[in-house]
Structure 1
Amino acid sequence: MKKLITALSAALLAAAAFAQAALPSVEGEVRKIDTETKKITLKHGDIPNLEMTGMTMVFRVKDPELLGKVKPGDKVRFTADKVDGALTVLSIEPEG
């Protein structure tokens, strides 16, 4: 039974990693960072997996450490998806 649980856990982790890797990378610009609420405001292009056109909006971040990688005004590439019903940035990197 323990081996089955270990195998299932490994399969779920692999599936989650694959799903995140399959998300499209989107161009954007950081407008605001709120470390207290763990949110970031991005002006972004279309996000196909969310069927969202380009706009400026607030996202949660999956990992608060992501907020330390960028600052307002930075051009970025990021991935986003719905996590627990909220639009969430899963990865973000400054361009250039």
Structure 2
Amino acid sequence: MWKMTGKTLAAMLATTLISVAAHADGHLPEVEAEVRRIDQNAGKITLRHGNIPNLDMPPMTMVFQVEEKALLDGIAVGDQVVVTIEQVEGAYTLKSIRTHAP
């Protein structure tokens, strides 16, 4: 059996509230990332991303499906970007992307 401290409970509650609030108003948190690979034909992008609070996902490198292939137009490997990502029907989906100067 594990014991939860007040700080642990507060952190879990804060993360949950941020996630619920993001979904309630339709606003997704913006996350800084670096483009590692692009597959325009498949509509996929590989990102090295920071923490994604609405998905409770720590920083890592992974592949995301894009909501629309046109989102990848003008994006290149190595670009520093700001993205929003949401889980859609079980798939982690890139909803928006814009370049961000380092």
- Does structure 2 retain, via aligned residues, the 8 Å contact 1:69–1:94? no
Name the SS for the 1:36 alignment partner. coil
1:72 paired to 2:77: yes
Q: Which residue of 2 aligns with 1:94?
A: 99
Q: Give the alignment of 1:12-91 within 5 angstroms.
A: 18-19=25-26, 22-91=27-96
| Higher helix content, 1 or 2 | 1
| Alpha-carbon distance between aligned partners in 1 of 2:74 and 2:99, rounded to the nearest angstrom | 7
| TM-score normalized with structure 2 length | 0.73
Aligned residues between the structures: 78
Q: Which residue of 1 aligns with 2:3?
A: none
C-alpha offsets along residues 22-48 of structure 1, whole Å, 9 cap, x if unaligned? 110000000000011100000000000
Q: Percent identity?
A: 49
| TM-score normalized with structure 1 length | 0.78
Q: Give the root-mean-square deviation of aligned CA atoms.
A: 1.3
